[in-house]
Structure 1
Amino acid sequence: MFRFNLVVLLLLSNMVLGDYPRSILFVGNSYFYYNDSMHNHVEELMKESFRDANIVTKSSTIGGSRLHNHDIDHLLVPRNLQRNEQVDMVIMQGGSGEVLNESSRKKFIKTAVEYSLKARQKGVIPALFMTHAYLENDYRFEPNLIQKIEQTYFQAGAESGALVIPVGSAYERAYAKNNQIKLHHPDGTHPGMLGTYLGACVIFAFITNKSPVGLSYNYLDRVSKEDRLFLQQIAWELYLEYN
């Protein structure tokens, strides 16, 4: 549990206790932009919870990209995001294939350390979005891949001091409790709508330290009440486990 306590302390050292990021940049690939884009769903959850706040999210995604494919120096210049002020937080997502072999894992961790340092130098809190494992119908599937994913992201978080947002772990927990739920797209790799919603709830919990349980946002009724509450509870259970 120490790994999450450490990164949460690092997060709170940059923000007043009880505070939360008002502006967030998402950097990743199709795992972010599927289903009307992760940043939009996180923004809606935050706007519902913090009604008087000015919440702004931005997203920079490249299909099939790995973390090192993104020009973080360019993205950390406010005018390049059509902003006058720097964002509060950057949430970075690696390519799903970056965990599959030792050389790509090392490259991802090195990049996470480098990009997190650059973010802090600009006054931006760095966070890492842990990806989920493949289903059996994806050619890259391997049993217990989540173990490699967790090990890679926790190590990257420990070495970079970035907040680890364990969305991949949330998928595993949700499937263990309800093996009928459809978190993946039929292709076995990308998130389905419910997977994106779960990811948004996990992000919400870990960056605000608040429970998403009971929030009404359901993406224009595309997420049923039953699924909404189940996924919100999964996100909050995971938060409580590691904090």
Structure 2
Amino acid sequence: MTNIGIIPKELDKQADRYFNNQPLKVLFIGNSYTYFNELPQLTQQLALSAKETRKLEAEMVTVGGATLEQLWQEGKALSKIRKGRWDYVVLQEHSTLPITNPQLMYKYARLFNTEIKRAHAQTVFYLTWARQNRPETQQILNDSYMKIAKELDAIVAPVGIVWQQIQQENSNLSLYDPDNSHPSPIGSYAAACVFYATFYGKSPEGLSYKTDSKKLTAAQENSTSELDSLKAADIDLIQSVAWNVVSKFDSQK
């Protein structure tokens, strides 16, 4: 008699092999906090350095200064969600809206999340950082993102919390652009470490940010130049803080 139990097991193995060879596809939706220093590409490079079986493929729909409301109404982000077979869709709200008008943020976060779920992907909220001259607002940002993420059963990439802890441990690390708002290349690198840890559930410790110099864009050249000046101890600090914070978030789910 044929043991029919073998068939699903073999099919499961084939499905696992197929799934594990497929790229991890991520769509970033946001504004300049996402496209400064080409954050998606920095995250991809960490995955390449880790030699992940599932290569990271990242795209972004971004508009400078945009809110989720504007990105929703503009339509390109929604079209991209519906057309792509994404694993994760990252939502980044305007830097101050979660402080000044969280209810408006929640309205469009809910709309985006509904479409993301219909596309069989997971929503990731990009929890951003306080302005350099307004550090007291970080807790409001944290609370706003955590509240909507809990409501929607979504994931949080706690970049702002990681920035805050890095600054507490080494105030000489310049995470901010001179405008006190946007990320420096070092700040974007810290964000990339958070996203790598969030997507793969692994520590970014020991991974490299270096890319093929022949394929660098102007933004990547700028990032690489500044990151090359970092001491090994500073890179270790950024990577370890990113993992410590993300792993705590994972354990609280």
Report the TM range for the smaller structure's normalisation.
0.7 to 0.9
User: How far has the Cα of 1:76 moved from its partner?
Assistant: 1.3
Indicate the residue corresponding to 1:24 in structure 2: 26
Tell me which residue corresponds to 1:127: 124
SS in 2 for 1:45: helix
Rounded Cα–Cα distance in structure 2 between residues aligned with 1:191 and 1:221 = 15
- Partner of residue 82, structure 2: 77
Q: TM-score, normalised by structure 1?
A: 0.81
CA deviations on 1:93-116 (whole Å, 9 max, x unpaired) are 000021232xx2101012112211
* Deviation of the 1:205 alpha carbon: 0.7
Structure 1, 21-30 or 56-65: larger mean CA deviation = 21-30
1:88 aligned partner? 87
- For the aligned residue pairs, the C-alpha RMSD in angstroms reads 2.1
Q: What CA distance in whole angstroms lies between the structure 2 residues aligned with 1:94 and 1:21?
A: 26
Structure 2 Cα separation of the partners of residues 206 and 194 of structure 1: 19
Stretch moving more, 156-165 or 42-51: 42-51
Which SS does the other structure have where 1:60 is aligned?
strand
Which range is displaced more, 143-152 or 223-232? 223-232
User: What is the alpha-carbon distance in structure 1 between the residues aligned to residue 104 and residue 147 of structure 2?
Assistant: 12
User: 2:36 matched to which residue of 1?
Assistant: 34
Q: 1:43 is aligned with what amino acid?
A: Q
1:211/1:159 Cα in 2 relative to 1: closer, same or farther (>3 Å)?
same
Q: What residue number does 1:81 align with?
A: none
Deviations 1:145-172 (A, max 9, x none): 0011000000110112210111010111
Match of 1:233 in 2: 240
What SS does the corresponding residue of 2:120 show, helix, strand or coil? coil
Q: 1:195 aligned to 169, 187, 192, which one?
A: 187
Larger radius of gyration, structure 1 or 2? 2
1:175 aligns to 2:167 (yes or no): yes
**What are the within-5 Å matches in structure 2 for residues 157-168 of structure 1?**
157-168=149-160
For 1:229, give the aligned amino acid: D
Q: What letter matches 2:238 in structure 1?
A: L
Residues 105-160 of structure 1 show CA distances to partners (whole Å, capped at 9, x for unaligned) of: 10101211221121011111111000100012xxxx3x510011000000110112
Give TM-score scaled by structure 2 length: 0.78
Q: CA deviation at 1:221?
A: 5.6
Give 1:77 shift: 3.0
**SS state of the match for residue 128, structure 1?**
strand
2:198 equivalent in structure 1: 206
Structure 2 portions without partners, runs of 5+: 1-15, 212-223
Could you say which structure has the higher helix fraction?
Answer: 2
| Bigger RCO of structures 1 and 2 (CA < 8 A, at least 6 apart) | 1
How many residues are aligned here?
Answer: 213
Counterparts of 1:53 and 1:239 in 2: how far apart (Å)? 20
Q: Which amino acid aligns with 1:45?
A: L
In 2, distance between residues paired with 1:110 and 1:47?
A: 36
Pair 1:189–1:128, CA change in 2 (3 A):
same
